[in-house]
């Protein structure tokens, strides 16, 4: 267990959605200078790395996930000099910086696409995926966009369809074209040369499509017998993707320091997920693990998800866990306010690199967005569904002043503030020892101080009732126990088979810590505990 501390393996990631973190120039949208202003907060919180969602020039059809220039900064967020200052400041504060790489698609306003669509003879025509219509004029196949509707958009001027697995304003690049590959490698090198510590790669499993574009199978929808769903068999997760990941990894490994490749890998099947580490661990360092995020908050379901994930991991692969991000509803909303601290306890004490989504450390909940203030294209395309992502993207709540210290009074923030911000904000929570913020800080401090939480072995404890999840973390000289009550009942446990006595290091409910007898362990409703076995 003499392994050194490797920041991306043992440290904690914190995701910043830059539009919503801190607005320094009063336009209602967060920016890079805003992040610089709040860097002390992030360092003090006790995280190790920042992952910043896209900051590049973009028409913002998908809020930055539609890039029109990969090697510049959107003026809304600042300029390259501000970015350089942010990188320096983060590094000076001991924080690594991970950017978002959006390789599957560009904006339709990217000069590459503008040129590609200009004519069938354009030198960049084959940088994107163009196909003729079927004889009846319909799209080349049945592929659906992940944001709804056909994935093919008809281009009147050149009489062909182009592929977009997301919005029609996000045409898919053709990764079978070596020129595209070369151009995107250049992008990675540009930022790595600047000293960026890594990339989270957006929908990286989508890059390669089946060479002959067959129809996807249509399956019955288990959730709704009147409807069908499309199995994404031919548009994503194609075997040829792995060669590209190895090339990415080769680039990253040629740089000094530990640079990290993270992938947005939405697989529920652990075997499929872990294939993205590569056969010789030569692909992604961290294929994001969303398996636990998709489970109901039930001890057995969560246990099974953790177990099957760990069991599938190839030897030497670094595990990771994600419970919240900018695409899913807020953690405190999904799991309930009574449980969200236990989710944090789980996230930060499992074996694997955790990612915290900004604001979850305050227990922020989903906001209600009135119809006339909807921003997310998904919300607008799928009205009446629960799929819109605005609710989890509310501005960060720094204090109780008008606009929560996110943007000056009188300015309309790009999304509404959470209604309860006058009570629940960074400033108020700082002053309250029982706050969620202080709970996270204690948890993060323990994780930093106790190498067993970063590197120790993990074992489930079996002799607990159904509504309890318990596990130990162990390394030479350090033995911890985590116990979480998923029910609203008080539960008494006898865990004396592990040890006689333990010291409570942290509780989701109480500040009180002390020594207890493990033969007589009481868990309050929904309580989670971290204990040190004595």
Please list the active-site residues: 202, 264
Spell out the alpha helix ranges (H) of 357-432: 377-381, 426-431
Distance CA 247, CA 461 (A): 41
Under rule CB under 6 A, which residues in 75-114 are in contact with ligand GLC? 102
Question: Smallest gap, in angstroms, from Cβ of residue 167 to ligand GLC?
Answer: 8
Cα angle for residues 506, 509, 510 (degrees, 5° grid):
65
Q: Which one, 101 or 406, has the nearer CB to ligand GLC?
A: 101
Question: Smallest gap, in angstroms, from Cβ of residue 214 to ligand GLC?
Answer: 23
Spell out the alpha helix ranges (H) of 195-298: 241-253, 270-274
Longest dimension (CA), the chain: 78
Burial class from Cβ neighbours inside 10 Å (0-12, 13-18, 19+) for residue 308 reads middle
Sign of CA dihedral 22, 67, 84, 248: positive
Is 172 a binding residue for ligand GLC by CB under 6 A? The answer is: no
Cα angle for residues 87, 93, 97 (degrees, 5° grid):
35
Is 48 a binding residue for ligand GLC by CB under 6 A? The answer is: no
403 backbone φψ class: left, alpha, beta (φ>0; ψ -120 to 50): left
List the structure tokens of 409. 């009074």
Fill in the per-residue mask, 226 to 265: x = in contact with ligand GLC (CB under 6 A), - = not in contact.
--------------------------------------x-
Which candidate, 358, 278, 377, 319, places its Cα nearest to that of 60? 377
Question: Smallest gap, in angstroms, from Cβ of residue 337 to ligand GLC?
Answer: 25
DSSP letters, 304-373, are: HHHHHHHHHPPTTPPPEEE---TTS--HHHHH-TTTHHHHHHHHHHSSSEEEEETTGGGT--PPP--GGG
Question: Smallest gap, in angstroms, from Cβ of residue 464 to ligand GLC?
Answer: 36
Phi/psi of residue 129, nearest 5 degrees: -110, 100
Q: Which one, 103 or 413, has the nearer CB to ligand GLC?
A: 103
Q: What is the CA radius of gyration of the chain?
A: 24
Of the candidates 23, 31, 62, 168, which one interacts with ligand GLC according to CB under 6 A?
A: 62
Question: Smallest gap, in angstroms, from Cβ of residue 62 to ligand GLC?
Answer: 5
Question: Smallest gap, in angstroms, from Cβ of residue 413 to ligand GLC?
Answer: 19
Is 414 a binding residue for ligand GLC by CB under 6 A? The answer is: no
Q: Which one, 293 or 491, has the nearer CB to ligand GLC?
A: 293
Which candidate, 461, 505, 455, 449, places its Cα nearest to that of 476? 455
Of the candidates 14, 17, 65, 398, which one interacts with ligand GLC according to CB under 6 A?
A: 65
Under rule CB under 6 A, which residues in 424-463 are in contact with ligand GLC? none
Is 52 a binding residue for ligand GLC by CB under 6 A? The answer is: no
Q: Which one, 388 or 456, has the nearer CB to ligand GLC?
A: 388
Fill in the per-residue mask, 263 to 282: x = in contact with ligand GLC (CB under 6 A), - = not in contact.
-x------------------
Is 361 a binding residue for ligand GLC by CB under 6 A? The answer is: no
Of the candidates 48, 202, 360, 527, which one interacts with ligand GLC according to CB under 6 A?
A: 202
Question: Smallest gap, in angstroms, from Cβ of residue 356 to ligand GLC?
Answer: 16
Is 327 a binding residue for ligand GLC by CB under 6 A? The answer is: yes
Q: Facing residues of 522 across strands? A: 492
Under rule CB under 6 A, which residues in 466-485 are in contact with ligand GLC? none
Of the candidates 13, 51, 166, 276, which one interacts with ligand GLC according to CB under 6 A?
A: 166
Question: Smallest gap, in angstroms, from Cβ of residue 63 to ligand GLC?
Answer: 7
Distance CA 330, CA 325 (A): 8
DSSP letters, 134-151, are: PTTS--SS--B-TTSSBS
Strands 468-475 and 478-485, bridge-based pairing = antiparallel
Q: Applying CB under 6 A, what is the total number of residues that bind ligand GLC?
A: 9
Helix (H, G, I), strand (E, B) or coil at 271: helix
Distance CA 35, CA 128 (A): 35
Residue 343 and residue 331 in contact, taking contact as beta carbons nearer than 8 Å: yes
Of the candidates 203, 362, 426, 444, which one interacts with ligand GLC according to CB under 6 A?
A: 203
Which residue of the chain is nearest ligand GLC when measured via CB?
Answer: 65
Q: Which one, 303 or 326, has the nearer CB to ligand GLC?
A: 326
Is 204 a binding residue for ligand GLC by CB under 6 A? The answer is: no
Which candidate, 263, 268, 270, 267, places its Cα nearest to that of 246? 263
Q: Which one, 199 or 398, has the nearer CB to ligand GLC?
A: 199
Distance CA 505, CA 27 (A): 44
Q: Which one, 202 or 235, has the nearer CB to ligand GLC?
A: 202
Question: Smallest gap, in angstroms, from Cβ of residue 105 to ligand GLC?
Answer: 7
Q: Which one, 53 or 342, has the nearer CB to ligand GLC?
A: 53
Distance CA 50, CA 45 (A): 12
Q: Which one, 248 or 526, has the nearer CB to ligand GLC?
A: 248
Query: Where does this chain bind ligand GLC (CB under 6 A)?
Result: 62, 65, 102, 166, 202-203, 264, 326-327
């Amino acid at each position: 267990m003499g392994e050194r501390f490797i920041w991306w393996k043992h440290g904690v990631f914190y995701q910043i959605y830059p539009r919503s973190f801190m607005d320094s120039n009063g336009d209602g949208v967060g920016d890079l200078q805003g992040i610089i202003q709040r860097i002390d907060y992030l360092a003090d919180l006790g995280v190790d790395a920042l992952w910043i969602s896209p900051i590049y020039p973009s028409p913002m059809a998908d809020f930055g996930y539609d890039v029109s220039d990969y090697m510049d900064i959107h003026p809304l967020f600042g300029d390259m000099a501000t970015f350089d200052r942010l990188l320096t400041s983060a590094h000076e504060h001991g924080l690594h910086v991970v950017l978002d790489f959006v390789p599957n698609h560009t904006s339709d306003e990217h000069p590459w696409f503008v040129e590609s669509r200009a004519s069938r003879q354009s030198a960049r025509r084959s940088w994107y995926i163009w196909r003729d219509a079927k004889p009846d004029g319909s799209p080349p196949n049945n592929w659906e966009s992940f944001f709804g509707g056909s994935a093919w958009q008809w281009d009147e001027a050149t009489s062909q369809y182009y592929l977009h697995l997301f919005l029609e304003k996000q045409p898919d690049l053709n990764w079978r074209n070596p020129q595209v590959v070369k151009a995107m490698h250049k992008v990675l090198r540009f930022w790595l040369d600047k000293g960026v510590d890594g990339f989270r790669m957006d929908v990286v499993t989508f890059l390669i499509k089946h060479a002959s574009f067959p129809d996807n199978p249509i399956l019955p929808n288990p959730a709704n017998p009147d409807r069908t769903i499309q199995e994404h068999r031919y548009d994503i997760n194609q075997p040829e993707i792995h060669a590209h990941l190895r090339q990415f990894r080769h680039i990253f490994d040629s740089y000094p320091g530990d640079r990290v490749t993270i992938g947005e890998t939405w697989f529920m099947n652990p075997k499929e997920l872990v294939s993205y580490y590569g056969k010789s661990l030569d692909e992604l360092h961290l294929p994001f693990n969303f398996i636990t995020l998709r489970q109901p908050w039930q001890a057995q379901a969560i246990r099974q998800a953790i177990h099957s994930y760990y069991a599938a991991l190839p030897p030497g692969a670094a595990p990771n866990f994600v419970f919240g991000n900018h695409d899913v509803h807020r953690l405190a909303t999904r799991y309930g306010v009574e449980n969200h601290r236990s989710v944090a306890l789980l996230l930060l004490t499992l074996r694997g690199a955790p990612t915290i989504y900004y604001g979850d450390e305050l227990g922020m909940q989903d906001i209600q967005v009135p119809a006339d203030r909807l921003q997310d294209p998904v919300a607008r395309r799928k009205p009446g569904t629960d799929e819109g992502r605005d609710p989890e993207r509310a501005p960060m709540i720094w204090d109780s002043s008008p606009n929560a210290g996110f943007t000056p009074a009188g300015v309309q923030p790009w999304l509404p503030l959470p209604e309860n911000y006058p009570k629940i904000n960074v400033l108020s929570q700082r002053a309250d020892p029982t706050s969620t913020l202080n709970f996270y800080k204690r948890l993060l401090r323990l994780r930093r101080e106790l190498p067993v939480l970063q590197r120790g072995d993990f074992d489930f404890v079996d002799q607990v009732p159904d509504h309890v999840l318990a596990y130990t973390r162990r390394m030479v000289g350090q033995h911890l126990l985590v116990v979480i009550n998923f029910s609203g009942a008080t539960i008494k446990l006898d865990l004396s088979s592990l040890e006689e006595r333990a010291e409570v290091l942290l509780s989701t409910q109480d500040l009180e810590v002390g020594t207890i007898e493990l033969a007589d362990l009481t868990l309050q409703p929904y309580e989670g505990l971290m204990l040190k076995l004595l």
